[in-house]
Structure 1
Amino acid sequence: AKFDPPESDTLKTLSNITVNGSVSGAKTSQFSGTGIVKLYDSERYVTRYYTNRNKETKAMSYLLPGDVLFKGKVEINAGQFSSRFFVPKDISYANRSGKISVYGWDPEAGEEIGGYYEPLYFAGSEAVFDTIGPKVNLGFTDIDFRDGDVVTPRSQFEITISDPRGINIAGKMGHDIVLMLDNDLSSSYKLTEYFSYDTNSDTSGKIIWPVPKLSPGKHNAAVTAWDNGNNSTTTECDFNLLISEDFKLIQVVNFPNPFKGTTDITYNITDAAKIECSIYTVRGLRIKTISSDMQMPGFNTIHWNGKDDFGDTVAKGIYIYKIKAVSVESGQKEHFIGKMVKVG
């Protein structure tokens, strides 16, 4: 693969750059797949010390590629690709060459391509006035998570980050993406290298990270991220870790209660499950059934409009509701019985 020469070989910090490229070779027009484009900072000298056979300490210096400043996923269609990225403030400002590279694969053809362009230099800065940090959302995969919800050891953090000027992934000291648990510095994790931009995007992406071993109960998680202008945002959430090999239906509440008109029954489940909610009069007559073939782990809601299965509004009074939950994974069953009062 090869890149078209950019408009300038000198890039300014905070500038938005577009690079285009193509797959070279006999099957150029047939190659369609996915590519990873990387922007590298200026090359850096590294010095290593060693002891020779005469037990003398010697130094050896050599060049290594610079830090990765951008890593984004792009589509390759008919041998053509294009990528955009922002140049972060956190560059080395060394008077040496950086570069851009691409690695791509076509899963149907079973082919891989690669290439790079250099030299690229970094100098100057765009006049940008931005003091707002990135938008950071902290949740868990496969769960409609709300602050304080129950998660299991199988859960994974899902951290989505976006900013109009891109996310700082240069990894410079003090500007890493960091997850901290329970306000404990010893339980901090640098997640910068795990950030992945959305396909064809230079402004948004996510991190998926497993929940580490923790004691059961309530915990706090806080994530700090930086944009390319070195503005930061910290977002946090509380979660309850349930350590159990069994399927659980927990924290069942209907609100409002008493209610007028409509009410919501909320609950948490630890696995994806089939749900059936039945509503009865105090004499045991079932008047309403609400079913769902699949609800995801975590917080869920059943809405009742205050009407029976025939569409008629029910009278004021006391009603009993029963929730049956069956784990899709294990087949284990859970149920809960509660009471609600309709007053209007």
Structure 2
Amino acid sequence: SLVETTFRLDLQSGVTELDRPATLKMNLDFSALRRQVSNELSTSATGAAEAVQVGRAAAEALARIGIYEWLEEISSWKLLDSRLQSDENGDPVESVHVTPPQANAAAQHELRFGEIVVDQTTGPSGEWVVFFVSPMRYEVMFLPEGGNSYQRLAIQGSMDEPYADSSVALRRLLVVNGDPLAQRGTGSAPASLGETLGFTTAPSEDGVVTVTRIWMSNLGDGKAEIDLRPNVTLENAPYGDWIVMVTGDQRYEIRNGAGRPVLNTSGSPIRGAINGPDLILSKEGLVSRVLEGSKAFQFGDTFRARVGRVMTFEGDTTRMGTYTLLRDIDAKPPAVQVFVNDLTPQSGEVIPPRPTMTLLLSDPNGIDVDTFRFERQRLGETAMAPVDPSTYTINPLPVDQMSVSHRPILFIGTYLMRVYITDLAGVSAESPEGGFAEFLFLVEEDPDLDPPTFTLSYEEGVLEDGGLLTQAPQQFTLHVQESHALDIGTLEISVAAVGQPPEEILWPEITFDRLQPAVATATWPADLTNGEYEIQAQATDTSTNVGFLGADEETPFRLTVDEPVHFEGLVLNAPNPFSPFDPVTRGTFFTYNLSQPAENVSIRVYSSAGRLARVLEDASGERGYNETHWDGRDDNGSLLANGVYFYKVRTESAFLDEDRIEERVGKLVVLR
């Protein structure tokens, strides 16, 4: 980051999207950029030659700076469409800018006291402030209790080194940085100019002087403001850091980049009043004011501002969020790789007409998924055009990678494919022809576009869609035919009565020879009762063509079974002879097998003389085996006398919209 602060844009209404774009403006300290670039250069040049090299490198760095937006969903920065303010000649516009004064950041830098020891008997009461004048050096100031002028101790201290000053009974003081990652001399500085820590000493009830309070941030919650005087120009501006420090008597002073107070002609610090009139520093070209908030300021509270020669970047956005200026030091474009059927062909190689193609796009800066474009051209026959989005799927995770799965259908010819992609820093993929990755492939055969076909048959022959069977099938056989090769693992079969959910045939008996992959058969038991049925089967070939038994996926094969109800085998009763008093059976059971369910089954019992003795209505009429019990009594409930009787089992059903009756007669003996 080229600035010390990121900026968060929010609206009190909670709205996160604007109706129209708003322009962001962010300033860059070009002098700081030159210093950064100069530190990065390893050159033996000196003087004017070095200045030329630094200037050239700084201009190149400037071209790679832009406004970036923080994307919470991927935890990464993304370049905003931003631009550098320029004049009519295209040269950057420079101006003098004062940063808003920032409150003491010692706590953020994790500065703290490692040790404080004052003389318990001679130590003075008052407020002590450690004021950093550089990343490692500080000075100590003391404001006596009840006093209105502080004392700056003559000896400066260093971070992590013991400090003492016998003139104020300060036996030992140690200031440390609690951040283990803070570097000494390079990288992130352990402290910054104007950061302060403080503590208070006072005697306890028994007269022992002790530390009563410690602080690492401003105690007051007011603000400071620093402006430039109207006569300040680019040439005479007071460039550098400026510190506002509260002196403890409702006044404050201004300190320069060396940490020294601005003095008047008599050598005394120039001070302004908190909540008072503006403090004008004519020589320095500054105007300042300090406004108190709900909490009073205390001796050592500080603010830091910077006057810089800046260039301004502008960018448009419609989103609330976090923004900053960043310089992209990685100019390497995103890498684009193409895999065909899990292999990595070279540009110009032959590929299949229906390949499984994967594009892998990667960049350490992160991939900007929104910039992805995919185009294809069949040379000599078609123009370059976008690839149909329905033929590919984008997987944008993780942030530094993006994969695209593509299943094209290609005919004989030479294909030129272009992939447009940009990383989050705005760097595009490249090829000798432009800002895209380019691949050339040959296809030497036309694609297989024919889906598998199906034929359904049973033991009597081939079935037609919508056909009628007057005999229930015992077994179905599905024949699958393909012009190239079947993917047999994709075969699915389901059967359902019309109006009912389909039931998948889980374990059909499949015949398939991988040496002859164009054909397969599947058989399974039919076991259908009379009714209308929907049968659906689907399978995919190795070219991903999908075929269906029905007209399409939503229109299954239909079949009607309307078999006449008839008895299969003998109609019997057991036991025979029988006794109504038998403790086990308490009568007899009529048993019979039906080819299909009957709408109504009745059993009539007659005497040997032909007299109707008993009618059993609603007898069992299920498909297959049935049994119906009779207790040996007539319709009046009286037990029949011993003797020979005849019975008639009668079925009633509809067949081809006509009523049909089937009867069987048997003989039984009642033996009481």
Q: TM-score range by the shorter chain?
A: 0.3 to 0.5
Query: More strand by proportion, 1 or 2?
Result: 1
Length-normalised TM-score, structure 2? 0.18
Q: Which gives a bigger RCO, structure 1 or 2 (Cα 8 Å, sep 6+)?
A: 1
Which has the greater radius of gyration?
Answer: 2
Length-normalised TM-score, structure 1? 0.33
